[in-house]
Amino acid sequence: MILVAVMAAVLWGIGWAMDAPKRARWTMIGILLVFVCFIQLALPVAHPLRIATGGDIRLWLLLIGFCGAIWLYSKGLSVLRAQANTPVETPQTGPFSETELDRYARHIILHEIGGAGQKALKDARVLVIGAGGLGSPALQYLAAAGVGTIGVIDDDVVDNSNLQRQVIHTDTRIGLPKVQSVAEAIKAQNPFVTVKPYHRRLDASIATDLFAAYDLILDGTDNFATRALVNETAVALGKPLIAAALSQWEGQISLYDTSTGGPCYACIFPIAPDPALVPSCAEAGVLGPLPGIIGAMMAAEAVKWIAQAGTGLQGRMMIYDALYAQTRVIKAKRRVDCTVCGGNSIPKQSA
């Protein structure tokens, strides 16, 4: 048996020197033991080689059985340890999983939102028009807040010049459709949210059907014609509209909901302004953080409206001047001669 032990040690040493895996070394020793057992069976009892390798196969069978028992015990112990360390998924019995409850805990403990408000957010369907400066932060915070379904429509692609303020996009996504970039960002941020991207320009041919599928509309576009179309469609369907706009250092935001007696966008802005008075961001510039401030306000107003918390901006317009750090709120009233809502309450239409 000493000879076999020496040979086993030599095989192990060779395997170690060659940096062979332990499994390969044990395999070589196993082959050696099989060969020894063969010698014990094939050679006569008095044969010198049989005597040198133990002389009795029963000794080797006993040794192999003992080693096998130890191996089985260690494997079984490893399996039990692995099972003990595997996290057990708790079945979801309510509207939220454990992960969601932990994620939204800071909302749920707010008594103005609570569990009912967070459930309303999960069930809500919000459409964001424009995935640029205002849409970027609004979309991020809507997703983080747990709004269940978020639609976003925009026909533009991510450009290098956008990244100074459109924080939802990244350098690696330059050239992608903005709605695709948004979908990737939201999926990475909150996998419990459903994103519906529409890579096209909003026009009258699709506006009604698109708006009908959502509960709340957020308008972050940068041209009056689209804003007018958004307002007309929202009024016709009785959908609440949160609209905001930017110019250099200043931003404005309001909530328009004619179904509850508030003014519509056209009540405040009945005619298109002179283009010379409202140059684009490319022409006049814009402070990078400004869209983040106003866009976050849009998301805050949306969360409040969905959760029925606090007082919204219906009938009021908030104007923020970043250059002089001033905020003022002005009243906004319905106009009886409004060409869109006529100053009348427009009942909501069921989706």
222-235: pLDDT as tens digits? 889 999 999 999 99
Quickly state the pLDDT bin for 38 (edges 50, 70, 90). confident
Q: Report d(CA 308, CA 135) in Å as an integer.
A: 22
Q: Residue 238: phi, psi to the nearest 5?
A: 70, 30
The pTM score is 0.72
Q: Which residue has the higher pLDDT, 122 or 89?
A: 122
Most confident region among 91-100, 170-179, 277-286 by mean pLDDT:
170-179
Alpha helices in 127-199 (DSSP H): 135-145, 178-189
Q: How many CB atoms lie within 10 A of CB 39?
A: 18
Fold category of 99-331 in CATH: Rossmann fold (3.40.50)
Q: Quick one: tokens of 183?
A: 């979908």
Quickly state the pLDDT bin for 50 (edges 50, 70, 90). low
- B/e letters for 163-198, b = 16+ CB within 10 Å, e = fewer, are eebbbbbeeebeebbbbbbbbbbbeeebeebebbbb
pLDDT at 76 > cutoff 80: no
Quickly state the pLDDT bin for 211 (edges 50, 70, 90). very high
Q: Report d(CA 290, CA 35) in Å as an integer.
A: 81
The edge-to-edge listing of strands for the beta sheet with 250-256 is 194-198, 149-153, 125-129, 216-219, 241-247, 250-256, 316-321, 326-331
Quote the distance between the C-alpha of residue 293 and its chain's center. Answer: 21
Instruction: Compute the mean pLDDT over every residue in the chain, rounded to the nearest whole number.
Output: 87
Q: Which residue has the higher pLDDT, 161 or 280?
A: 161
Q: Report d(CA 27, CA 99) in Å as an integer.
A: 46
What region does 65 belong to: left with phi over 0, alpha with psi -120 to 50, or beta?
A: alpha
What percent of the chain clears pLDDT 70, i.e. is strictly above it? 85
Quickly state the pLDDT bin for 85 (edges 50, 70, 90). low
Spatial neighbors of 100 by CB under 8 A, at least 6 apart, are: 146, 192
pLDDT at 49 > cutoff 60: yes
Where in the chain is CATH 3.40.50.720? 99-331
Q: Which residue has the higher pLDDT, 217 or 75?
A: 217
DSSP designation for 94: S
DSSP designation for 90: P
